[in-house]
């Protein structure tokens, strides 16, 4: 009997939380936006999503097995699936397969596994891959199929992102998702449903998404008052382009975001600020992915600067 007993330090119970549980909630939260993309872009969206997820999972498995010789099954934590879906969310629905596969290889091979796998990467893999593809294939990555071409894929009729002409776009289609764009970013409504799922299940806290959205709304609001013709309304900026997708699913990535509430608020504010700066004053119509990647690099500094409120320090009476 006695030699069967286990000895270990307390605590002897666990919350039951796990990496895979959190990742599953992220996937569930992405479902509304994913289903909307299937509805809006039809076959093309299905092909892009399937290719992206399959190649991300394959590359994670292959790199673990053949290069790192790591027997641990890291696929079970679903993080490669999350990266795959997020990458697809950032791509147009008519993108050729080889570009998607290159993107997946960059995301997993360069951005994630090189640094040691889940938890060790400095940058958000899906987002870094998107920017890599944007710079490598600038035309294919910025021409988006128009909504409602259910059976089209490579032959879909395309147009530039509505962001290029944001002020002239109607607000309602922008909110619902009846506009061109990359798969996951078009429907602000579906992304907001995802946000509610993430916060309700305590997968993430409100700090990052709310601070980004509030910053963008406030800054574009001020700019719109100052330049009513050149700058679109804050609502357009909020619902248009990749802002909502970035705020809900990209910037909130555990690994590449700050650890304390204070740090997260600073991080969110800076992302919002950079996004508006690039959108309004920069050469690119979209600034969200650049803003997040730039701030990813600052996360270690933010973590050092923003300590949590220690017990009994600066006690408020």
Partner 1 sequence: MKTFRIGGVHPAENKLSAGKKIEPMALPKQAVFPLSQHIGAPAVACVAKGDMVKVGTKIADAGGFVSAAIFSSVSGKVAKIDSIIDASGYRKPAIFIDVIGDEWEESIDRSEELVTECALEPAEIVAKIKNAGIVGMGGACFPTHVKLTPPPGSKAECVIINAVECEPYLTADHQLMLEKPEQILVGVSLLMKAVNVTKGYIGIENNKPDAIALMREKAAKYPNIEIVPLKVQYPQGGEKQLIDAVIGRQVPNPPAIPIAVGAVVQNVGTAYAVYEAVIKNKPLFERVVTVTGKALANSSNLLTRMGTPMNMLIEAAGGMPENTGKIIGGGPMMGKALLNAEVPICKGSSGVLLMTEEESVRGKEQNCIRCAKCVGACPMGLEPYLLAKLGEYNDWERAENEDIMTCIECGCCTFTCPSNRPLLDWIRLAKNTVGGIIRERNMKK
List interacting residues with partner 1 (CB under 8 A).
1-2, 4-15, 17-19, 21-22, 77, 116-120, 205, 254-260, 307-313, 315, 317
Going by C-alpha positions, the residue among 97, 131, 134, 127 that lies closest to residue 112 is 127
Shortest spacing between CB 313 and partner 1, in angstroms? 8
Cβ closer to partner 1: 21 or 140? 21
The nearer residue to partner 1, 19 or 189, going by C-beta atoms, is 19
Nearer to partner 1, 76 or 160 (CB): 76
Tell me how far apart the alpha carbons of residues 104 and 255 are, in angstroms, rounded to a whole number: 18
What is the CA angle 83-289-256, rounded to 5?
A: 55
What is the phi/psi pair of residue 264, to 5°? Answer: -65, -35
Smaller CB distance to partner 1: residue 1 or 172? 1
Q: Least Å distance between CB 94 and partner 1?
A: 34
Cβ proximity to partner 1: between 136 and 205 the closer is 205
**What are the tokens at 205?**
């806290």
**Distance of closest approach, residue 236 Cβ to partner 1, in angstroms:** 33
Quick one: 209 or 241, whose CB is closer to partner 1?
Answer: 209
Between CA 140 and CA 85 the distance in angstroms is: 19
Question: 55 vs 257, which CB is nearer to partner 1?
Answer: 257
Nearer to partner 1, 20 or 136 (CB): 20
Question: What's the closest the beta carbon of residue 249 comes to partner 1, in angstroms?
Answer: 15
How many Cβ atoms from other residues are within 10 Å of residue 34's Cβ?
20
Task: Report, in Å, the least distance between residue 111 CB and partner 1.
Answer: 15
In the complex, minimum distance from the CB of residue 309 to partner 1, in angstroms, rounded to a whole number: 5
Q: Using an 8 Å Cβ cutoff, are 198 and 251 in contact?
A: no
List CB contacts of 250: < 8 A, sequence separation 6 or more. 86, 124, 126, 127, 288, 289, 292
CB of 70 to partner 1, least distance (A): 11
CB of 160 to partner 1, least distance (A): 37
């Amino acid at each position: 009997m006695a030699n069967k007993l286990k000895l270990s330090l307390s605590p002897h119970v666990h919350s039951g939380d796990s990496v895979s549980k959190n990742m599953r909630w992220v996937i569930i939260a992405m479902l509304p936006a994913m289903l909307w993309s299937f509805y809006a872009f039809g076959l093309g969206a299905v092909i892009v999503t399937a290719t992206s997820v399959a190649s991300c999972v394959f590359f994670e498995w292959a790199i673990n097995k053949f290069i790192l010789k790591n027997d641990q099954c890291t696929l079970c934590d679903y993080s490669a699936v999350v990266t795959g879906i997020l990458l697809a969310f950032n791509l147009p629905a008519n993108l050729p397969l080889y570009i998607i596969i290159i993107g997946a290889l960059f995301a997993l091979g360069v951005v994630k596994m090189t640094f040691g796998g889940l938890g060790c990467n400095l940058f958000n893999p899906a987002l870094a891959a998107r920017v890599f593809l944007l710079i490598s294939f600038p035309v294919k990555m910025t021409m988006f199929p128009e909504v409602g071409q259910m059976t089209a894929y490579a032959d879909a009729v395309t147009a530039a992102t509505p962001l290029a002409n944001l002020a002239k776009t109607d607000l309602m289609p922008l909110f619902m998702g009846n506009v061109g764009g990359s798969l996951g970013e078009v429907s602000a409504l579906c992304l907001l449903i995802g946000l509610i799922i993430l916060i309700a299940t305590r997968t993430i806290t409100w700090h990052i998404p709310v601070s980004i959205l509030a910053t963008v709304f406030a800054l574009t609001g001020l700019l719109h008052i100052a330049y009513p013709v050149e700058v679109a309304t804050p609502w357009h900026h909020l619902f248009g382009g990749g802002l909502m997708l970035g705020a809900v699913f990209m910037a909130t990535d555990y690994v590449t975001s700050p650890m304390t509430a204070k740090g997260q608020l600073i991080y969110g504010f800076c992302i919002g600020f950079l996004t508006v700066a690039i959108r309004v004053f920069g050469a690119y119509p979209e600034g969200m992915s650049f803003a997040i990647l730039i701030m990813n690099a600052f996360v270690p500094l933010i973590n050092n600067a923003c300590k949590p409120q220690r017990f009994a320090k600066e006690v408020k009476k």
